[in-house]
Structure 1
Amino acid sequence: MYKYLVLFVLLSCGLQGYAGNVRANEESISEEIVSIEAPVVENLSDDAHHHAPGWSVIPFALLLIMIATGPLFYEHFWHKNYPIVACVLAVMVISYYLFVLHNTHAPVHAMAEYVQFIALLSGLFIASGGIMIEVDKEAKPMTNVIILLIGALISNVIGTTGASMLLIRPFIRLNKNRIKPYHIIFFIFMVSNIGGSLTPIGDPPLFLGFLKGVPFFWTLKYNIIPWVFACLALAAVFYFTDKKNKSDYSFGESSHTPSNSVTFVGTKNFLWLAIIVGAVFLDPNVLEWVPAIHYDGQKFSFLREIIMLSSGYLSYKFANKEALQWNEFNFEPIREVAFIFIGIFGTMMPALELVGNFAQSETGAAMITHNTLYWGTGLLSGFLDNAPTYINFLTAALASQGGSINEMADVVGFSNGEFSNSILSLKAISIAAVFFGSMTYIGNGPNFMVKSIAEQVGIKMPSFFGYIIRFSIPILLPLFVLVWLIFFFWGWL
C-alpha cells in the first residue's frame, strides 16, 4: 500500500519545499483556491493571488495541536479561552494575506465559505433541537444498529448535519443507562459521515460536485455498493462491541415496560428543516434569478444564508417548549463549533493553497491515478475541509486528462466516462472525501457538534488523539483499506 500513499507523503511532508518553487512555476500551476460553492474565475490579476509561503501553515498546525491537547492537558484554560485562541490565530493569517501578500481573494472566499458553513449548521442545529424523538424500547444492540442504519439513510435526505442533530439526542436517551463513548463514535462514523455518500445533499463535497456538473444521481449509482459495504461492516463491529456492554438494557425503572413505540413531539419543526435543506439549492451560480453579492468576478450567495438563519431563529421562537426541555437544548454546542471553525477556516488557507497548487502542478498531475486520488483526497479530508479538498483533487484529475473544472461539459463528460478511467477517479475522490471525514473530530462539521452535545450531557469523550488512536486507526483505517482494495485496487465491484 506504500506506493499509493506517496501522494499524501509528498503533500504533507514536502509542501514547504514545494512552496519555494511555486512562483517559478506560475505559468504551469493554477493560481486558484476553489471556494465551497462558487466557481473558479480565470484570468484574475497576479496581484490578487500572491502565494503564501510554507511556514504560513504554522498557525493552522498550532490550532490543531491546541484542539487536540487543550481538553487533555490544560482543560480550564482551553474551555475559557478557545474563542480568543481561534480568533487570534485566524486574524494573524488573514492579516498576513491582506497586508503582506496583498491577497484579498483568499480571505474573502474563506469568509464566504464560513458564513455558508455556519448558517447551515446553525439552522439545522436549532431546528432539530425543537424536535423530540422518544424511542420507548430496550437499548439492545440490534435496536442501536437499526437506529444507526436509519440515520445513515436519512443523512442522504437532510444531510449528515441534519440527521446527526435530529437523532443524536434520542440515541443518547435510549442508551442512558449504558451509554459509552463508543456509542457516540460509531454515531459519528455512520450518521455524521459515511451515511451521506449517496446524494449531493448528503455531504458538502458531493453537493459541490453537483454544482460543478456531476449528475444528481451519479453518487447513488456509483457509491451505493461501497456505502452498503462500509455501513454493514461498521454495523457489525458496533453490534459485537455493544453486545459486550453488560449494562442494563432497560430504563432502570422496574415498573416500566417498554411499549416499543416511537413518539414525536414538535413535529412542526420538520417544516423548518425542510426549508433549510431546500434553501441549499438557492445558489446564484446555478440559478441566475437568485440575488448575489458580486466580488472579483464571482457571485456569493446571501439569500440562502438569510433563509437558513431566519428559519433557525423562527424554529426556536415557535418551538415546542416541552421538546426543548426534554432535549436539554442550549446554544453551547453551536457556539463552540462557531468559534473553533472560525479558526480553522481562517488558518487553513495556506494549507489548502499549497495542496491545490501541488495537485495541479506537472509533478502532481503525473502522479494522478484513482489509487492516489483515493488516498490523497481521503487522508487530507480528515484534517482539512473536505469540500475544497474534493474540488482540488477533481481539478487535478480533470487537468491531467486535458479537462477543466470550469467547463461544465468537461465535468459531465468526466462523470460519464468520456475521459480515461474518469468514472473510477471520480468515484475514488467522492468516496474518500466523505468516508475519511470521520477520521477526526474536525473532518466534518457534524463531528465536533455531536461530540459537544455528548459532553454537554456528561459523556466523557476521548481527546482528539484518543479518538484517532482508539477508534479511527483500529476501526476505520482497516475498513478504508478494504474499501480501496475491493473497489479500486482490485476493482472487483
Structure 2
Amino acid sequence: MAAFYVVVLGNFGSIYHSFVEYVSFIALLGSLFVASGAILIDIDKKGTPLLNVVFLFIGSLIANVIGTTGASMLMIRPFMRVNRGRIKAYHVIFFIFTVSNVGGALTPIGDPPLFMGFLRGIPFFWIITHIWYIWLVTLALILAIFFTIDTINARKEAATSVEHSGTIQFTGLKSLVWLAIIIGSIFLDPNVIPGFPDLKHYGIPLGIREFIMFGICYLAYKTADKKALEGNDFNFHPILEVAFLFVGIFLTMVPALELIAHEAKVYGDQLTPGLFYFGTGSLSAVLDNTPTYLNFLTAALGKYSMDATNPSHILMFIDCPETLKYVVAISAGAVFFGAMTYIGNGPNFMVKSISDQNGLKMPSFFGYVVKYALPILLPIFILVWALFFMIPPGDYALIKADCPKIYEMWKGVAPVVSDTLSTIH
C-alpha cells in the first residue's frame, strides 16, 4: 500500500508523515518499556478478587501519570505474580481493558491522542473535568464484571496452605528518574513552550524529545538494577514485536484516514456526537488512535467552519456547551475503543507478549475480539453512548445565542476540513 501511494499516486508526503509518526510512537513506547521494566515490584499477597480490583483501579489511576504504556509495563508483572498459581487469560485481558486503555482517559499524559489535543490548544485539565464521570462509569462497569468472573473462579479453586507476609518490596526505584525525564520530555514541543527549538527548521523531521527518549532507552538499560531486570525476566522481545507490527499499520492506514477527511466534508452536518464517538472508536480499534483522533477533531471543527490547527478556534469550540460534546465524544472513543483489539493501543500487544513469555496462553487476535471484547466491552461502550452521547448535533439556534463567534464563522465561511493527514509534528 505504501509503495502504491509513492509510485503510482506520487503521494510521498502522506507516507513520509506517517513514518515520522511511527518513529515518534516507537520512541515513546520504547523508552517507557525499558524504564518501567527496570523497576521490580514484589507484592507478597494472595491474589483475591477484591485485591485484583484494587490493583486494576490503582493501575488505571497511575496510567494518567506515566501513560498507559508506562503503567502497563510497571504493573503487569506484579499483577501476574500476585495471582501466581491461579492466573488465567481473563486476568490479563481485563488488565488490558483497564490499565492499558480505559484508565488513561483523564489526562493528556494518559494516552497519545489526548496529548495531541493538548498540543492543539486544549488545556491540560480540561479533559479530566469533562470526562471523569464517563471514565468512572466505564471503569466501574468493567471492574464489576471482572470482580464477578474472578469471584466465581476463586470459589472453584482448591484452598492452599501457602502463607503470605503481606509485604511489598521495590527494587530499581532509581529508574523512576528516567520515567520522570521521559514524561517531562513529552512537553518539549514548540507548541507547548513558545520559542523552544524546532528541529524541522534544520531539515530534521523529529523533535528534540524523540532524541531524548531514544537516549533514555540506552541509558535506562545500561544503568538498570540487574536484580530488577532478572526479577522481571526483562528482554526486548515484546517491544520488538510491537515495532514490527505497527510499522505495517502506520504505513497502510493512510487511505482510511484520508477517506475520513473526505467524508467529513460531505456529511458534516449529519454527524452527531454519537457518530463521532463510534467513528473515532471503531477506527481507533484497528488503526493508530492518534491520527484518527486528530482527523475526527478536524472534522468536528470543520462542521462549524473552524480550523483545528488554530488554538483560538479550539478554545472557542471547547468553551461552547453545544460543541464541546464533540471533543468529549472523540476523546472517549479514541481511548476506550483501543481495548477492542490487541493492536488498538501500543501497550496491548506488549502485555500479551509478556504474558506469553511467562507461560500464560493468551487468546489469538480474533479469539480476544470474539470471546472478550465483543461480549464484554461492546455492550458497555453502547451503554456509555446511550447515557452520554445519544444526543443530537449542536443546535445552531443555541450556538447563535450562547456562542455567537462560532455561529458567525459557521454562517459566513465555508467549512474548513484538512485534506492532509494530521501528524504528530
Q: TM-score when scaled to structure 2?
A: 0.88
- How far residue 249 of structure 1 moved from its aligned partner, in angstroms, is 8.4
Match of 2:164 among 258, 280, 300: 258
Q: Does 1:192 align with 2:93?
A: no
Which letter does structure 1 place at the counterpart of 2:355?
A
Match of 1:109 among 17, 39, 63: 17
Q: Is the 8 A contact 2:199 2:208 kept in 1?
A: no
Q: Does 1:333 align with 2:241?
A: no
Which letter does structure 2 place at the counterpart of 1:445?
G
Q: Is the 8 A contact 1:282 1:304 kept in 2?
A: yes
CA distance in 2, matches of 1:110, 1:135: 41
CA distance in 2, matches of 1:272, 1:294: 26
CA distance in 2, matches of 1:409, 1:291: 23
Spell out the pairing of 1:436-475 with structure 2 (5 A cutoff). Answer: 436-475=337-376
Paired position in structure 2 for 1:32: none
- How far residue 294 of structure 1 moved from its aligned partner, in angstroms, is 2.4
Q: Is the 8 A contact 1:129 1:166 kept in 2?
A: yes
Paired position in structure 2 for 1:162: 70
CA distance in 2, matches of 1:333, 1:218: 34
In structure 2, the CA distance between the partners of 1:248 and 1:291, relative to structure 1 (3 Å rule), is farther
Q: Is the 8 A contact 1:272 1:312 kept in 2?
A: no
Q: Does 1:433 align with 2:334?
A: yes
CA distance in 1, matches of 2:194, 2:2: 31
Paired position in structure 1 for 2:141: 233
Q: Does 1:181 align with 2:67?
A: no
Paired position in structure 2 for 1:64: none
Spell out the pairing of 1:212-291 with structure 2 (5 A cutoff). Answer: 212-246=120-154, 254=161, 257-291=163-197
Q: Is the 8 A contact 1:140 1:249 kept in 2?
A: no
Paired position in structure 2 for 1:118: 26
Spell out the pairing of 1:16-31 with structure 2 (5 A cutoff). Answer: none
Q: Is the 8 A contact 1:293 1:302 kept in 2?
A: yes
Match of 1:385 among 288, 308, 315: 288
Q: Is the 8 A contact 1:177 1:248 kept in 2?
A: no
Q: Is the 8 A contact 2:189 2:207 kept in 1?
A: no
- How far residue 349 of structure 1 moved from its aligned partner, in angstroms, is 1.3
**What is the alpha-carbon root mean square deviation over aligned residues?**
1.8
Q: Deviations over 1:235-273 (max 9, x none)?
A: 1111111112246588x6x4x521222111000001101
- How far residue 332 of structure 1 moved from its aligned partner, in angstroms, is 0.5
- How far residue 99 of structure 1 moved from its aligned partner, in angstroms, is 2.4
Which letter does structure 1 place at the counterpart of 2:192?
V
CA distance in 1, matches of 2:269, 2:135: 30
Q: Is the 8 A contact 1:177 1:249 kept in 2?
A: no
Paired position in structure 1 for 2:258: 353
Q: Deviations over 1:40-65 (max 9, x none)?
A: xxxxxxxxxxxxxxxxxxxxxxxxxx
Secondary structure of 1:263's counterpart equals: strand
CA distance in 2, matches of 1:372, 1:98: 32
Paired position in structure 2 for 1:53: none
Paired position in structure 2 for 1:305: 210
Paired position in structure 1 for 2:409: none
- How far residue 397 of structure 1 moved from its aligned partner, in angstroms, is 1.0
CA distance in 1, matches of 2:208, 2:79: 34
Which letter does structure 1 place at the counterpart of 2:26?
I
Match of 2:298 among 389, 395, 413: 395
- How far residue 422 of structure 1 moved from its aligned partner, in angstroms, is 0.8
In structure 2, the CA distance between the partners of 1:370 and 1:206, relative to structure 1 (3 Å rule), is same
Q: Does 1:319 align with 2:224?
A: yes
Paired position in structure 2 for 1:136: 44
CA distance in 2, matches of 1:222, 1:366: 24
* Equivalent residues, number: 391
In structure 2, the CA distance between the partners of 1:189 and 1:299, relative to structure 1 (3 Å rule), is same
Report % sequence identity.
52
Paired position in structure 1 for 2:312: 409
CA distance in 2, matches of 1:325, 1:290: 40
CA distance in 1, matches of 2:139, 2:286: 22
Secondary structure of 1:264's counterpart equals: strand
In structure 2, the CA distance between the partners of 1:198 and 1:299, relative to structure 1 (3 Å rule), is farther
Which letter does structure 2 place at the counterpart of 1:340?
L
Q: Structure 2: 5+ residue runs without aligned partners?
A: 393-425
Which letter does structure 1 place at the counterpart of 2:208?
L
Q: Is the 8 A contact 1:139 1:249 kept in 2?
A: no
- How far residue 290 of structure 1 moved from its aligned partner, in angstroms, is 3.3
Q: Is the 8 A contact 1:205 1:433 kept in 2?
A: yes
Q: Deviations over 1:323-376 (max 9, x none)?
A: 1111000110011001001111111111211222222x2x22122211211111
Write out the 4+ residue segments of structure 1 that deviate beyond 4 Å after TM superposition: 247-250
- How far residue 309 of structure 1 moved from its aligned partner, in angstroms, is 1.4
